[in-house]
Structure 1
């Protein structure tokens, strides 16, 4: 059987089982964030305050990424059966990203429907911006080095248009709510503490988002089988996956979006022997190895070949056609 179709059904049934105890990771991550902030207060006058602050900031950035992974699961309906509870979990866990979870939900469920196609936000088509070989490589390195969130933000206008009137109100309330909390934190915290508590983690988070977006989808082609839509990475990076709540098991998530985050690692390990070789080839034990491999491909980019891929495509018509589709429904299991 092709792709992941040979995976036994009993493994899938086990993977879909919900274990609400794992949602304790939410208060754990916030508690770790609070503890890290306490360290920032305790060391703000230390001779090594800046390097300590940078280390703490990087740790907080990883915690925020892990909270985002739980929010992502809630958007898929994997954290709770109640739509209201799912929304609240997603709101609390996604807010630290600084983005509206209502907008993210619309984008992300649609991304699953159109993965790697021309209009997919996660498919950064550099030739839409430049065909100069040097500038194209430089732009790709910038986007996948640290600027992916900036590019991402420029693409969200089309998803704002997909929201209903009430959803747009909800989006604004979410943004005002979170950034008001950050404004209060800025007013109450010493500037040095606030920088390492949120602003520097925000910058580190941009780098992490850029790096992982490249790993997950760069140069992956559209396919009718989601087993071929993305890469799984960092399978041996257990501490990272503890902090990130298994978001790196990205191929498993695309193929089986109903598997809760806490079951992805165990499912991957049990199901891997049943994967087709082509799928196994896109599973990586680390993060930096595949990242540098892809950066190397960027440096060897053939702009003419990339342009050929879309030469006969009516881009505007394709975008209109696919943007008119609804996203996948929360709770989809395969």
Structure 2
């Protein structure tokens, strides 16, 4: 059987089971963030305050990434049966990213519908910006090293247009609410503490988002079977996956978006022997090895071949057609 179709139904049944106890990761992550902030405050006059701050800032960036993974699960309806509770979980956990969860929800569920197609935001088509071979390589390296959030933000206007009037109000309220909290923190905290509490983590977070976005979807092609739509990575990076709440099991998530974050690792380990070899080939134990491999492929980019991928495609018509589709519904199990 192709893809992941040979995975026994019993494994899937267990993977879909909800275990609300795991949602205690939410207060744990915020508590760790608070403890990290206390360390920043206590060491602000230390001789090694800046190195300590950088390490703490990187740690906080990973905590925020982990909270975002739980928000992502709530958007899929995997954290609670109640729509209101799902929204509140998503709001609390996604807010640290600095983006509206209402806007993110519209984009992300649609991304699952059109994965790797031309208008998919996660499919960065560099030839839309330049066909110069050298500039194309530089732009790809920039986007997939630290600037992916900038590119991402420029694409969100198309999803704002998809929101209803109330959803747009909700989007603004979410943004104003979070940035008011950050403004308060800026006012109350010593500047040095604030920089490492949120400023540095924001920059590290941008780099993490850029790196992992490349790993998940760069050069992956559209396919009717989501078993082939993305890569799983970092399966041996247990500490980071604890902080990231298993977001790196990306192939499993795309194939079975209804599996809660806390079951993804155990499902992967149990189901892996049943995967087709082609799927196994896109599962990686680490993060940096596959990242550097993909950076190497960027350096070998053939613009002519990339152009050929979209040869004859009416890009405007394709974008209009696919942007008119609804995203997948929360609670979809496969």
Question: TM-score range with shorter-chain normalisation?
Answer: over 0.9
1:15 Cα shift?
0.0
In structure 2, the partner of 1:103 is 103
Instruction: Note the alpha carbon deviations across 1:99-133, whole angstroms, 9 max, x for none.
Output: 00000000000000000000000000000000000
In structure 2, the partner of 1:36 is 36
In structure 2, the partner of 1:204 is 204
Taking the aligned partners of 2:227 and 2:152, their CA distance within structure 1 comes to 24
In structure 1, the partner of 2:133 is 133
Q: State the SS of the aligned residue for 1:26.
A: helix
Q: State the SS of the aligned residue for 2:45.
A: coil
In structure 2, the partner of 1:322 is 322
In structure 2, the partner of 1:278 is 278
Taking the aligned partners of 2:308 and 2:233, their CA distance within structure 1 comes to 29
1:290 Cα shift?
0.2
Taking the aligned partners of 2:179 and 2:45, their CA distance within structure 1 comes to 28
Q: State the SS of the aligned residue for 1:233.
A: coil
In structure 2, the partner of 1:245 is 245
Q: How does 1:82-161 map to 2 (within 5 A)?
A: 82-161=82-161
Taking the aligned partners of 2:174 and 2:55, their CA distance within structure 1 comes to 29
Instruction: Note the alpha carbon deviations across 1:224-269, whole angstroms, 9 max, x for none.
Output: 0000000000000000000000000000000000000000000000
Taking the aligned partners of 2:179 and 2:261, their CA distance within structure 1 comes to 28
Taking the aligned partners of 2:184 and 2:285, their CA distance within structure 1 comes to 41
Residue 290 (structure 2) pairs with residue 290 (structure 1) = yes
* Root-mean-square deviation (Å): 0.2
Q: State the SS of the aligned residue for 2:326.
A: coil
TM-score, scaled to structure 1: 1.00
Taking the aligned partners of 1:307 and 1:328, their CA distance within structure 2 comes to 29
In structure 1, the partner of 2:255 is 255
In structure 1, the partner of 2:301 is 301
Instruction: Note the alpha carbon deviations across 1:61-116, whole angstroms, 9 max, x for none.
Output: 00000000000000000000000000000000000000000000000000000000
Taking the aligned partners of 2:219 and 2:319, their CA distance within structure 1 comes to 19
Residue 74 (structure 2) pairs with residue 74 (structure 1) = yes
Q: State the SS of the aligned residue for 1:298.
A: helix
Q: State the SS of the aligned residue for 1:143.
A: helix
Taking the aligned partners of 1:214 and 1:312, their CA distance within structure 2 comes to 26
Taking the aligned partners of 2:14 and 2:325, their CA distance within structure 1 comes to 31
In structure 2, the partner of 1:331 is 331
Taking the aligned partners of 2:127 and 2:307, their CA distance within structure 1 comes to 7
In structure 1, the partner of 2:180 is 180
In structure 2, the partner of 1:18 is 18
TM-score, scaled to structure 2: 1.00
Taking the aligned partners of 2:22 and 2:269, their CA distance within structure 1 comes to 19
Q: State the SS of the aligned residue for 1:267.
A: helix
Taking the aligned partners of 1:287 and 1:183, their CA distance within structure 2 comes to 34
Taking the aligned partners of 1:39 and 1:185, their CA distance within structure 2 comes to 16
Q: State the SS of the aligned residue for 1:195.
A: helix
1:311 Cα shift?
1.2
Taking the aligned partners of 2:203 and 2:143, their CA distance within structure 1 comes to 14
Q: State the SS of the aligned residue for 1:79.
A: coil
Taking the aligned partners of 1:83 and 1:266, their CA distance within structure 2 comes to 27
Taking the aligned partners of 1:72 and 1:107, their CA distance within structure 2 comes to 11
